[in-house]
Amino acid sequence: MRPEPAGAWLRAEADGVRTPRTVAPEDAALEDTDEVVGVVVNGFARAYPLRILADPQHHVINDLIGGSAVSVAYCDQTECIRTYTGPGPEPLQIAIAGLREHGLVIRVDGVYFDHKSGQVVEGPPQAAPLLGDAIPWTRTSWAQWRKAHPQTEVSVGNEFSLYRVERRQPAR
């Protein structure tokens, strides 16, 4: 097997999930020990179960929280979480672009960025690095997040998600 040329990457492009369905905490079908990524924007809390973000179709979620555009991106290969925000009342259009050196590549306005570093992978020479984490986030257990933010909403992805609201029991 030949090594990949320097800078090569696998393209596997897909739109990020846009304004996923949310449920109240009591309807979330989460165990206390389930991990979530939580954000609070303009006083509104939202939890993103890590098992949803780990689904390749849900590595990028473009959402609206408290009237602000917030995107949460997660790479299950590098365990990297980043948040992004932008102006206006519409969700951002950050997309999944593929893998490079075992890490997520995202696309924003036709420019491809390494998710972890924010560095340009492909795009115009004058493209600036992508700045992330303008919205603070927390990776914690569902029990801890729910205790700190009892009025939180929980993102459950979209209808194409591998995750379902109901928890399946193992076969006996």
Q: How many residues appear in the chain?
A: 172
Q: What share of the chain is helix, strand, coil (3-state, %, to 5)?
A: 10, 40, 50
Rounded CA gap, 36 and 144, in Å? 10
What is the DSSP secondary structure assignment for residue 56, as one 8-state letter?
A: G
Check if the beta carbon of residue 3 is closer than 8 Å to that of residue 83: no
Phi, psi of 8 (to 5 degrees): -70, 150
Blockwise average pLDDT, block size 10, the chain, 172 residues: 58 89 94 97 96 91 94 95 90 92 92 94 91 92 98 82 36 42
